[in-house]
Amino acid sequence: MISHDDLIALWTTLKLAIITTILLLLIATPLAWWISNTKWKFKFFLEALFSLPLVLPPTVLGFYLLLFLGSNGPLSHLTNSSLAFSFYGLVFGSIIYSFPFVIQPLINAFNSLDDSYKEIASTLRAKPLDVFFSITLPMVKPSFITAAILGFAHTLGEFGVVLMIGGNIPGVTRVASIAIYDHVEMGDFQSAHVLSAILLIISFSLLVSIFYLNQKRETKC
C-alpha cells in the first residue's frame, strides 16, 4: 500500500515539522512578548519583516536561503560547512518559512491580554518574572496551541523552499510533499493518492482541533 521510501519521506516530514515547531515556539515566544510590550518606534519594521514569508513566493525565499546557506554563503564561512541540502538546512528554512504563522497568534495573544491581570498579580506580591510565568503564559496558553498547530501544519505542507534548499535526498531531505510531486511526474498516481490522503487527513485533523479549542474557549467565557 505504501512504499518504504514513502514511509521514510513521511517520517522526515514529521521530524522536520516537530523540530521546527519546538524551535519556533522557543524563538517566537520571547520575540512576540517583546514586540507586544516594547514602545520602540521602529517595531513596525520588524513586524513587516516577520510577515514577509506570508507574501513572498517560496522559490524567492528558497533562492535567498540557498545563497545564504550554500557553500559560498556567509553561514558556511562561519561554520565551515554548508547547510544547504542537509536536514538542518531544511529546519532553518522551515523556521523562516513558518515564522509568521507562529509569531502572529502569539503577538495577538500578548496584545489582547488585559494589563490589569498583571497589575493585580503585582499587588499580590508577584515579581515580574513570576507574573510572566504564573499569569501571562497560562492566560495565553490557547494561543500557544494555535501557534504550535499552525506552525506544524504549515511546515508539513512546505514545498517550494524545500525543493530549493533541500533537493530531494531520500532519508535526508526528501519530504512527503516532494515525494508526491515525484510520483505524479512518474505517473504513479496510486502512491500519490496514498501520500496526499495522509497529508490531507493530518492537516484537516489539526485544523479541526484548533477550531474546536477556539469554540470551547468562547463558550467558557
Partner 1 sequence: MLDFSFDFKKGNFHINIQESLPTEGVTAIFGPSGCGKTSLLRALAGLDYYSTSTIKMNETTWQDGSLTVPTHQRNIGFIFQEPNLFPHLTVEENLKFGLIRTLKNLQKIDFKCVVSVLNIEDFSQRDPHQLSKGQKQRVAIGRALLSSPKILLMDEPLSGLDTQSKSEIIPYLEKVSKQFHLPIIFVTHDLAEISQFTDQVLFLDNGRSTNFLPITEAFNSLNSPLNKSHSPQSIIETKIDSHDEGYFLTYLSFPGGKITVPMINKSIGENLKIRVPSQGVSITLKKAIDTSVQNILSGTVEEIKLFDQAKVYIQIDCEGVKLIAAITKKSLDELKLQKGLNIYIQIKSVEILT
Applying CB under 8 A, which residues contact partner 1?
114, 116-117, 119-128, 130, 134-135, 138-139, 141, 220-221
* Residue 139 C-beta: closest distance to partner 1, Å: 6
- In whole angstroms, what is the distance from residue 76 CA to residue 95 CA? 18
Q: What are 166's three cell numbers?
A: 533541500
* Residue 140 C-beta: closest distance to partner 1, Å: 10
CA 69 to chain centroid, in Å, comes to 19
Q: Which is nearer to partner 1, 54 or 124 (CB)?
A: 124
Q: Which is nearer to partner 1, 15 or 217 (CB)?
A: 217
* CA distances, 77 to each of 14, 68, 83 (Å): 30, 10, 11
Q: For residue 28, what are the contacts with CB-CB under 8 A and spacing of at least 6?
A: 99, 102, 103, 106, 147
Q: What are 75's three cell numbers?
A: 553561514
Q: Which is nearer to partner 1, 84 or 121 (CB)?
A: 121
* Residue 153 C-beta: closest distance to partner 1, Å: 26
* Residue 144 C-beta: closest distance to partner 1, Å: 12
Q: Count how many Cα atoms sit within 13 Å of the Cα of residue 107 in the half-sphere of its side chain.
A: 20
Angle of helix 141-156 versus helix 4-37 axis, rounded to 10? 140
Q: Which is nearer to partner 1, 67 or 113 (CB)?
A: 113
Are 148 and 213 in contact, with CB atoms under 8 Å apart? no
* Residue 105 C-beta: closest distance to partner 1, Å: 18
Q: Which is nearer to partner 1, 136 or 191 (CB)?
A: 136
